[in-house]
Amino acid sequence: MNRLLKTLLVVGCGFIGANLYAQKLVLKWKTDTLLRVPESVLFDGERKILYVANIDGKPDGKDGVGFISKVTLDGKIENLKWVTGLDAPKGMGLYKGKLYVADISRVVVIDIASGKIVSKIEIDGAKFLNDITVDKKGSVFISDTGTGKIHTLQGDKAVVYFESKEFKGINGLLADGNDLYVLDFGNGNNYKLSADKKLQKFGVSSEGADGVVPFGKGYLVSNWHGEVYFMSATGEAKKLLDTKDQKISAADIEYDAKSKLLFVPTFFSNSVIAYEVKE
């Protein structure tokens, strides 16, 4: 290979890398602190609203004080206690007018139009249900950090979809085509689980891995301790946010591609913060 060609390749790769890692976060707004231990945020594109899961107690406490809030896209709390009577709600999923919420050992199903709980699906043996994702066919998947299992709903019952001793504390889930993107809170590993149940390590963000959302040709992943990473399609990670020193968590995040806004629930800081993702 001649010297000119080598130079062109190096320069070309440099431009690709620059484009790949050009993202940065710009603060847009922050809700007030009326929220109570917000763990997860979910964007409803049809209704142009954010749902926020508030634990308002211990993360494993079956105390009935948890609730779901509605927050506008400019950071106003529209309805603080839209749905009440949950225990410690965390991850959420949306499908055909129903909101699915992970609530320690059960999945709570909420009718969005009425704001009423329509069913509570207990999962046998569940210890710490954490995240939920729903694929395009309406299949609901739930992670259990306490058992290392991924469950799926079949009507009003749940069955084990996948489990592995490799998991140290699974958390974030994302239905990505026919695959599941799986984050491990315990070691920061990022996995892809194929439709034929083959688990492949995809990359590493950091211990405390929490939420995962699609972003362009890659993903944005959060770390509960206060970090957000961009994870490329080839498994390379770049840190975009670090609020650990301020003791501000980054729990189960959400992203709206149209507005380019990333929504970060701050857990003990009792707010949701929105950042614009600049490329």
Greater pLDDT, 245 or 3: 245
- Tell me the per-residue pLDDT of 133-171, one tens digit each, with 9 for 90 and over: 999 999 999 999 999 999 999 999 999 999 999 999 999
Tell whether the model's pLDDT for residue 210 goes beyond 80: yes
Please state, as a whole number, how many other Cβ atoms lie within 10 Å of the Cβ of residue 44: 14
Over residues 156-209, the pLDDT tens digits come to 999 999 999 999 999 999 999 999 999 999 999 999 999 999 999 999 998 999
Give 242-256 pLDDT, tens digit per residue: 999 999 999 999 999
pLDDT at 231 (0 to 100): 94
Reply yes or no on whether the pLDDT at 5 is more than 90.
Answer: no
SS3 readout for the chain: CCHHHHHHHHHHHHHHHHHHCCCEEEEEEECCCCCCCEEEEEEECCCCEEEEEECCCCCCCCCCCEEEEEECCCCCEEEEEEEEEECCCCCEEEECCEEEEEEECEEEEEECCCCEEEEEEECCCCCCEEEEEECCCCCEEEEECCCCEEEEEECCEEEEEEECCCCCCEEEEEEECCEEEEEECCCCEEEEECCCCCEEEEEECCCCEEEEEEECCEEEEEECCCEEEEECCCCCEEEEEECCCCCCCCCECEEECCCCEEEEECHHHCCEEEEEEEC
Query: Under DSSP, is residue 5 helix (H, G, I), strand (E, B) or coil?
Result: helix
* Position 258 pLDDT exceeds 70: yes
Average pLDDT over residues 31-52: 98
pTM for the whole thing? 0.92
Residue range 73-130, pLDDT digits in tens: 999 999 999 999 999 999 999 999 999 999 999 999 999 999 999 999 999 999 999 9
**Confidence label for 21 from pLDDT (cuts 50, 70 and 90):** low
Mean predicted confidence (pLDDT) in 14-21: 41
61: containing domain = 3-278
**pLDDT > 90? residue 12:** no
Domain containing residue 215: CATH number: 2.120.10.30
Mean predicted lDDT score pLDDT of the chain: 92
User: What domain count does the chain have?
Assistant: 1
